[in-house]
Amino acid sequence: MELPLSPHDPTDFEWSFWMEWGKERLVWLFLGHMSVSQVANLLSRKHKPWILAAYGMWACRCVLGTRGTAMVLIHTTVSFCVAQFRSQFLSWLCSLSLLSTLRLQDVEEVKRGWCTTENECYLLQFTLAVRCLCYTSFSLELCWRPPPAERPSYSLPWMLAYVFYYPVFHNGPVLSFPEFIAQMQQQEQSSPKTSLSILALGLGRLLFYWWLAELMVHLMYMHAIYSSASLLRAVSSWTL
């Protein structure tokens, strides 16, 4: 198999996938998050996490549909219930079990029945996989805190606000639960102008690193190399 000679890797599925979704819906939903966040700062900072959670659920429904959103909610609720046992073993077992359901043939067939296109199915898979890391972060943080850890921030509403935080909802990067709480508290205490600067800087950094990672994969022909068995056999392990 010969590598393509075009300036970009045509076998890079993720590049075309995220570019298509980004231009079609995701960019506008990210801008909507920024607008809602600023309105919440002006009207009711105390309730900002719940306002953003409601927006995240609505945005999720716009992209994944009612059934896809319900699946994220079910995974979140199951993980929260298991976390109440404060057992790291059970938390990991729950997270791995939820993750493994993404590859069950019967479950895949059901999800394909929900989606109108193949790309919608892939986006649902990506989203559930990334959200699983959030369930795990919340559960482990709760396990590591000695009782009593009945703080308001370790409640189901806070977990929902964390899971449905839209800027990192579909493709990361993963924000740990303590980082999320610290970010919400920082925005609550800062002025509207400072909050806008923090939000713009955070989204800019998110988009930059996402673009940089995808661009490196795209221009270095990683997908084309991975799909060439003869090339992989020819190069040394050190090169790989």
Cis peptide, bond prior to residue 173, ω within 30 of zero: yes
Q: Is 89 exposed, middle or buried (0-12, 13-18, 19+ CB in 10 A)?
A: exposed
pLDDT at 93 over 60: yes
Tell me what percent of the residues of the chain surpass a pLDDT of 70: 71
pLDDT at 88 over 60: yes
pLDDT at 7 over 60: no
Which range has the worst mean pLDDT, 86-95, 132-141, 219-228?
Answer: 219-228
What is the maximal distance between C-alpha atoms in the chain? 62
- Report yes or no: 186 and 49 within 8 Å, Cβ to Cβ: no
Token reading at 38: 């600023």
3-state secondary structure of 32: helix
- Report yes or no: 239 and 9 within 8 Å, Cβ to Cβ: no
Q: How many C-beta neighbours within 10 Å does residue 134 have?
A: 27
Tell me: the pLDDT tens digits for 147-199?
Answer: 655 566 788 888 999 999 988 888 777 888 888 888 887 766 656 666 667 66
Cis peptide, bond prior to residue 7, ω within 30 of zero: no
pLDDT of 47 reads 85
Q: How many C-beta neighbours within 10 Å does residue 76 have?
A: 22
- Pairwise CA distance, residues 163 & 131, whole Å: 6
CA dihedral defined by 17, 18, 24, 28, rounded to 10 degrees?
170
Question: Average pLDDT of the chain?
Answer: 79
- Pairwise CA distance, residues 18 & 168, whole Å: 14
Q: Rounded to 5 degrees, what are φ and ψ at 90?
A: -65, -35
